[in-house]
Amino acid sequence: MRVPGLPNVHLSYCLNVHPGRTLAEAEVAIFDRAKRVFEEFGRRAAVSGPFGLGMWFSAEAARELGEPGRLAEFRHRLDAAGFYAFTFNGFPYGRFHGTRVKEKVYQPDWSDDARYDYTDRLAGLLVSLLPEGVNGSISTLPVTFRPWATEEKIALAVQKLADTAALLDELREDCGREVVLALEPEPGCYLERTDDAVRFFEDQLLLRGRERLIEEHGYTKEEAEDALRGHLGVCLDTTHCGVMFEDPAEVVERLRSHGIRIAKIQFGAALSVQVGPDGPPQELRAFSDEVYLHQVAIRTRDGIRFFLDLPEALEQGRALAGEWRVHFHVPLAWAGEGPIGTTSGQVTSDFLAAAVRAGVEHFESEIYTLDVFPALRGSAESVLAQDLAWLWERLS
């Protein structure tokens, strides 16, 4: 929903916390579960709608929604429920709950035509759902999973991302709706830290991507740079910053100084555990599951050691003393338990103010791991509402 005093700033939560592989599942997530989340949030924060949604449609659900007559009916249902769309999560392509996801979440990557086609379809749906005067954003994976990165893959990805910028530029001209594609740096991926994102934009997108737009789409040099900077940006995820020992406020300023657009900020906290010579506490093992990757960065006296998944860290890095940061999206309002702490302290009022000054319009809580969260107390809907209220208080 719109934040008071900041008319272009919108807050929601990401619906990828609910199953949504089919359109029927996505509609349950929106019209049943999100309805309950926002009813409780409204009571906690003493606010009323309309409420903005951070939607997730898998590739299958997006195809279904694009069938003749479906989108108009869906838009009518949204309006009747007091909801509106402003941002999509275009990261998970297929099934995202109840099965082994792990590294499959990065398939297809940006070297694959299927990723471009999926994003194209999402963009078309989003421009048809955006309210008048509201910009749109689509978060997406950070090019590819780091173990898969090759020069050929990156070159193909740059071409497809440039083509996407051209597509979004054309939609803006045709529909009068602006949509930004936001690459989301994530531990273990080709874009892992802010420096990786800056280098990719400056050394790849703004050089080879610009050439692509000039040669294949007929842009001038200036038009190409405007399209790339205007329609491609970054999704800053505070959980990912926490894992990689990055300060989100500093990330905002660094991206801003390089003219890279921050299209969306996703909120959550990573696990933070102080590990001594006896090894990690037993309680940490409860956060290891067979569904999602839980990358681990360990800051020791000798530097930072990185593991692609928590079981690997618990096995191979068990003797590493220092601070362990674990990629497990936990609620900001959860203070941790026993030896398990979190990075929620990084989400400060100063950080939020810096983000608003940098022109960020879309803020979204993303804690998709609730279905495997061992410290869940009460319903997922209640936890989601509590985190929204936590953010609302600090934003407004």
Q: Would you say 162 and 170 are in contact if contact means Cβ atoms under 8 Å apart?
A: no
Residue 188 CA: distances (Å) to CA of 86, 139, 160, 266, 291: 28, 17, 22, 18, 17
> Any idea of the CA torsion for 295, 300, 302, 307, to the nearest 10 degrees?
-10
Tell me how far apart the alpha carbons of residues 97 and 20 are, in angstroms, rounded to a whole number.
9
Strands of the 269-275 sheet, one edge to the other: 303-307, 296-300, 322-330, 269-275, 341-342
State the pLDDT at residue 396.
82
3-state secondary structure of 235: strand
Judged against a pLDDT cut of 90, whether residue 318 lies above it is answered with no
143-202 pLDDT tens trace: 999 999 999 999 999 999 999 999 999 999 999 889 999 999 999 999 999 999 999 999
Token look-up 């272009």 returns 8
Mean pLDDT of 26-40: 98
With a CB cutoff of 8 Å and minimum separation 6, the contacts of 204 are 154, 158
Confidence grade of residue 35 (pLDDT, cut at 50, 70, 90): very high
Mean pLDDT of 10-28: 97
With a CB cutoff of 8 Å and minimum separation 6, the contacts of 181 are 90, 119, 123, 137, 138, 140, 161, 164, 165, 168, 231, 232, 233, 263
276-286 pLDDT tens trace: 999 999 999 99
Q: Name beta bridge partners: 316.
A: none
Q: Name the token pair of 192.
A: 């892992």
State the pLDDT at residue 347.
97
> What is the residue-averaged pLDDT of the chain?
97
State the pLDDT at residue 7.
80
Hey, what domains does the chain have and what are their CATH numbers?
A: 2-269+344-395 (3.20.20.150)
User: Nearest-CA neighbor of 138 among 159, 165, 170, 114?
Assistant: 165
Tell me how far apart the alpha carbons of residues 279 and 40 are, in angstroms, rounded to a whole number.
41
Burial class (CB in 10 A: 0-12, 13-18, 19+), 277: exposed
Own/partner contacts of 37-43, CB < 8 Å, gap of 24 or more, are: 37/13, 37/381, 37/384, 37/385, 37/388, 38/385, 40/381, 40/382, 40/385, 41/384, 41/385, 41/388, 41/389, 41/392
- 258 DSSP 8-state letter: T
> DSSP assignment of 325-377, as one string?
EEEEEE-TT---BTTBEESGGG--HHHHHHHHHTT--EEEE--GGGGG-TT--
Q: Name beta bridge partners: 188.
A: none
Q: What is the reported pTM?
A: 0.97
Phi first, then psi: give them for residue 323, nearest 5 degrees: -95, 125
Tell me how far apart the alpha carbons of residues 307 and 326 are, in angstroms, rounded to a whole number.
10
Tell me how far apart the alpha carbons of residues 300 and 310 are, in angstroms, rounded to a whole number.
17
Tell me how far apart the alpha carbons of residues 192 and 115 are, in angstroms, rounded to a whole number.
19
Q: Each residue of 126-164: b (16+ CB within 10 Å) or e?
A: bbbbbeeebbbbbbbbbbbbbeebeeebbebbbbbbbbb
Q: Would you say 351 and 4 are in contact if contact means Cβ atoms under 8 Å apart?
A: no
Q: Name the token pair of 228.
A: 């790339």
3-state secondary structure of 172: helix
Q: Name the token pair of 141.
A: 């994976």
Q: Would you say 35 and 111 are in contact if contact means Cβ atoms under 8 Å apart?
A: no
Mean pLDDT of 109-136: 97
Where do runs of H (alpha helix) occur along the chain? 23-28, 35-45, 59-65, 70-81, 113-129, 151-175, 194-200, 210-217, 221-231, 238-243, 248-257, 310-316, 349-357, 380-395
- 130 DSSP 8-state letter: P
Mean pLDDT of 32-51: 96
